Chains A and B, each alone.
Chain A
Amino acid sequence: MQDPVLQVHDIAVRFGEVTALDGVSLTIAPGECIGLVGHNGAGKSTLISVLNGGLTPQTGSVGDGPYGIARARSLGVRCVFQELSLCPNLSITENARIAHRDLPAFGWRGTARRIVSDSLDAIFPGHGIDPRAQVGELSIAQRQMVEIAMAFSSPTAPPRLVILDEPTSSLDAGLAAQLLAHVKRFIAQGGAVILVSHILDEILSTATRIVVMKDARIVADRPAADFTQGSLVQAMGSSAKELTARRAQITGDDALRLTLPHGLPFHARKGEIVGLSGLGGHGQTRMLLALHEAHAPQWWPAATPAVTFVAGDRRLNGTFDLWSILKNMTAAALPDLARHGLIRPTAEATQAATWKDRIAIRTPDLQNPILSLSGGNQQKVLFARALATRAPVVLMDDPMRGVDIGTKQEVYRIIRDEADHGRTFVWYSTEMEEMGLCDRVYVFREGAIVAELVGEEISEHAILAASFAESNRGAA
């Protein structure tokens, strides 16, 4: 056997209490295309970051000797990231200058233009992209094409391992086919590719070997020929875990409605817990924001808000870091606690104390700063803030990220309790078992609702099957 392109051995990565990779070993040989699949949070992105040199694992080894971005690049490892990572204010040529540090110091414009054009011509014949164009002017598909072309091109040593993270997510079927054909040519010439895709057909048809990740580990690593679509979906899910039973189907008036440009329309009934599922970034957060936009007052806070929002990324858009726990908790319900525009401190304190007990926030004093709490308790404060309003609808954007299991159970209980009292919850979550708590689940793919699961239909298998398109966009 030839020398491997890259080898990782028994690596582990932890972010705080969350384990993102747990004892993963992988050997990438020249001439193979590894299909990497798994559900959200399975550890795919973390593994890619490690291979790319952007993340150093706490334990285990990558390659031989110290590994980092510079080392990865000198080994010929290139990566096309899921979120587009070109500089929109620069031309394609100038972006190539940033990506390829080995361009000559003088006359680099000509060289850069030539290699990007050559690579585009090779992968996407008839692309019609001018390398002098500014990236900001290009369509999303064209940007992705450029990024892919740049990863496969080089002014000096050719790339040896190209990592493609959802490379076809914004390409149409024809372009996707061109890319996959190029991947096959590339590995035939001795290159190696790691392909991440939510379209199982692409993986099964292109990959020579398929690696399935689940819960921060590799659970299957076999030749692609050994898999079928069914067995692949099965490998990704856990067969043992049964989702909790739910209530009888809810009937009643719609509390919310939204028609999306594509796919099934969205609606939520009074007292219903509606789950939004599917792979991360397929339009769930965007729809929550659209719901909020449609129902929240734009200029002046209404006395009775129609919707309230629980943010998932609490550091980014949840907590007021410099405020006390009490101020954080009551921030959304201030109109109820004020008279003539002045806040009544006693009413505020009473409300906060009620919620402290109800949701069990572990702190000796509500006047302590919010950052004195653990992450899980901070998240509970955000829940209390939303639930303390009189809004009949609560929108939740993956609020349980990085929360310990005990807190989760307490919050689940409160959500169920509030729903029984007639509140509507729209709940986006990347965690499978949370979908089991919902009365109805919408599965998202590529910005549209592709499936609606009610009651007993909700299962990990059904959600996985709907989130991974079986074929390449059907007849598109």
Chain B
Amino acid sequence: MTPDRLRLLVPVMALVALLAGVFWMQPRAASYTGLNLLLNLAVPIALATIAQMLIMAVNDLDLSMGAFVSFVACVTATFLNDTPALGLLILAAAIAVYAGLGVIIHLRNLPSIVVTLGMSFVWTGLAVLILPAPGGSSPEWLRTLMTVKPPLAPMAIFASVLIAIVAHLIVMRSTLGVRIRALGGNERTVARSGTSIIATRAAAYALAAFFAVLAGMALVGLATSADANIALRYTLLSIAGVILGGGEFIGGRVSPIGAVIGALTLTLAGSFLSFLRISPDWQIGAQGAILILVLALRLLFNRLEARR
């Protein structure tokens, strides 16, 4: 078994264990409707996790993910609904801004954490300007897309699989994906081969912004309206999802399939704790405990692997 597969084993086991726990607590959840209710909010989280993963693949961290997804949600619920052309233009500009951030971070040798933390206030500010109070409404086609009822399995499962496959193709199979991961693995090697580091980093940021835009749109499709603070918790959820899914903060070690599984696990963890009748006051702490448990398991696996 390759180390990459071994890495995927822990998140898969965590997901299976949580699903089993949920079904045991609440057998009615093991149905088409039940699964859809449990997992449909995982779709935007999975997209945001893929976005965060792309940033982490180049050894950076995006602390503005939640604010940016909220901003996109506000644009989607207003401009994209009322004047689609203008809405698309704004979203395209936002992606261009992200690419620019990648360039600035590289050229000025700035810590990505500081830059994105600063940007998070910019995105939140813009979101508040667009939607001072919760409101707006989802474009009809988006609503239809997110509430589609495919045969066999609910939309959330199809969407998660699709996201995992597309992200896997881009990040693990394409030339661009290899370059992005190489940048995280050994920047000097990339420079010595004559590949532009700036262009690669900018591409990673732009690609991340693209997935984050999809996350914001998916969220509005599910929630039907938006709010400037709708996705603030996505910042930490997305980072946790990447790590849970076998990714690392540095070294360009990421797994798109793992990231999607990580996002599903985090979503389920919330429901599982509700079923356990743990009061919401304790839920965040309990969620953290689950995270620590899974990471401890992974550490154990890494040790075993190193001893081999």
B188, A85: Cβ atoms under 8 Å? Answer: yes
A88, B185: Cβ atoms under 8 Å? Answer: yes
Indicate whether B201 reaches chain A with its CB closer than 8 angstroms: no
Indicate whether A414 reaches chain B with its CB closer than 8 angstroms: no
Residues of A bordering B, CB below 8 Å: 52, 54, 69-70, 73, 79, 81, 85-90, 94-95, 97-101, 105, 108, 134, 136-137
- A392 to B195 CA separation, bound complex (whole angstroms): 51
B195, A98: Cβ atoms under 8 Å? Answer: yes
Residues of B bordering A, CB below 8 Å: 2-4, 175, 178-179, 181-182, 184-186, 188-195, 251-253
B178, A94: Cβ atoms under 8 Å? Answer: yes
Give the residue of B3, B175, B190 whose beta carbon is less than 8 angstroms from that of A136: B3
- Kindly report which residue of chain B lies nearest to residue A68, judged by CB atoms: B194
A108, B3: Cβ atoms under 8 Å? Answer: no
| Distance from B94 Cβ to chain A, minimum over Cβ atoms (Å) | 29
- A54 to B193 CA separation, bound complex (whole angstroms): 10
Task: Give the residues in chain A near B195, CB-CB below 8 Å.
Answer: 98, 101
- Kindly report which residue of chain B lies nearest to residue A72, judged by CB atoms: B194
B186, A86: Cβ atoms under 8 Å? Answer: yes
A89, B184: Cβ atoms under 8 Å? Answer: yes
- A215 to B253 CA separation, bound complex (whole angstroms): 42
A108, B175: Cβ atoms under 8 Å? Answer: yes
Interface centre among B184, B186, B188, B191 (most CB of A within 10 A): B186
- A79 to B194 CA separation, bound complex (whole angstroms): 13
A89, B175: Cβ atoms under 8 Å? Answer: no
- Kindly report which residue of chain B lies nearest to residue A100, judged by CB atoms: B193
B178, A85: Cβ atoms under 8 Å? Answer: no
Give the residue of B179, B190, B192, B253 whose beta carbon is less than 8 angstroms from that of A89: B253
| Distance from A188 Cβ to chain B, minimum over Cβ atoms (Å) | 28
Task: Give the residues in chain B near A134, CB-CB below 8 Å.
Answer: 2-4
Q: Would you list 16 pairs from A and B whose C-beta atoms are within 8 A, ordered by A residue?
A: A54-B192, A79-B192, A85-B186, A85-B188, A85-B192, A86-B186, A87-B186, A87-B252, A89-B181, A90-B181, A94-B178, A98-B178, A98-B193, A105-B175, A134-B3, A137-B3
Task: Give the residues in chain B near A85, CB-CB below 8 Å.
Answer: 186, 188-189, 192
- Kindly report which residue of chain B lies nearest to residue A79, judged by CB atoms: B192
A88, B193: Cβ atoms under 8 Å? Answer: no
B193, A89: Cβ atoms under 8 Å? Answer: no
Known: A85-B188, A137-B3. A90 touches B194 (CB 8 A): no
- A136 to B193 CA separation, bound complex (whole angstroms): 19
- A54 to B194 CA separation, bound complex (whole angstroms): 10
Known: A98-B190, A105-B175. A90 touches B182 (CB 8 A): yes
Task: Give the residues in chain B near A94, CB-CB below 8 Å.
Answer: 178, 181-182
Interface centre among B4, B184, B193 (most CB of A within 10 A): B193
- A89 to B253 CA separation, bound complex (whole angstroms): 6
Task: Give the residues in chain A near B193, CB-CB below 8 Å.
Answer: 69, 73, 98-101
- A331 to B55 CA separation, bound complex (whole angstroms): 37
Interface centre among B185, B191, B195, B252 (most CB of A within 10 A): B185
Task: Give the residues in chain A near B251, CB-CB below 8 Å.
Answer: 88-89
- A118 to B253 CA separation, bound complex (whole angstroms): 28
Closest 4 CB pairs of A and B: A87-B185, A89-B185, A87-B186, A89-B252
- A95 to B189 CA separation, bound complex (whole angstroms): 9
- A94 to B195 CA separation, bound complex (whole angstroms): 14
| Distance from B37 Cβ to chain A, minimum over Cβ atoms (Å) | 38
| Distance from B199 Cβ to chain A, minimum over Cβ atoms (Å) | 13
- A353 to B247 CA separation, bound complex (whole angstroms): 51
- A137 to B193 CA separation, bound complex (whole angstroms): 22
B4, A98: Cβ atoms under 8 Å? Answer: no
Task: Give the residues in chain B near A86, CB-CB below 8 Å.
Answer: 186, 189
- Kindly report which residue of chain A lies nearest to residue B57, judged by CB atoms: A89
- A89 to B3 CA separation, bound complex (whole angstroms): 11
Task: Give the residues in chain A near B192, CB-CB below 8 Å.
Answer: 52, 54, 69, 79, 81, 85
| Distance from B249 Cβ to chain A, minimum over Cβ atoms (Å) | 13
- Kindly report which residue of chain B lies nearest to residue A133, judged by CB atoms: B2
Task: Give the residues in chain B near A70, CB-CB below 8 Å.
Answer: 194
Give the residue of A97, A101, A105 whose beta carbon is less than 8 angstroms from that of B194: A101
A90, B2: Cβ atoms under 8 Å? Answer: no
| Distance from B188 Cβ to chain A, minimum over Cβ atoms (Å) | 6
- Kindly report which residue of chain A lies nearest to residue B175, judged by CB atoms: A97
A87, B189: Cβ atoms under 8 Å? Answer: yes
Interface centre among A52, A54, A97 (most CB of B within 10 A): A97
- Kindly report which residue of chain B lies nearest to residue A81, judged by CB atoms: B192
B3, A90: Cβ atoms under 8 Å? Answer: no
- Kindly report which residue of chain A lies nearest to residue B250, judged by CB atoms: A89
B186, A69: Cβ atoms under 8 Å? Answer: no
Task: Give the residues in chain A near B191, CB-CB below 8 Å.
Answer: 54, 69
- A101 to B194 CA separation, bound complex (whole angstroms): 8
Known: A69-B192, A73-B194, A101-B194. 20 other contacts (CB 8 A): A54-B191, A69-B193, A81-B192, A85-B188, A86-B189, A87-B186, A87-B189, A88-B186, A88-B251, A89-B181, A89-B185, A90-B178, A97-B175, A97-B179, A98-B195, A101-B193, A101-B195, A108-B175, A136-B3, A137-B3
Task: Give the residues in chain A near B4, CB-CB below 8 Å.
Answer: 134
- A95 to B190 CA separation, bound complex (whole angstroms): 10
B2, A98: Cβ atoms under 8 Å? Answer: no
| Distance from A470 Cβ to chain B, minimum over Cβ atoms (Å) | 33
- A412 to B195 CA separation, bound complex (whole angstroms): 46
Known: A85-B188, A86-B186, A89-B185. A98 touches B3 (CB 8 A): no
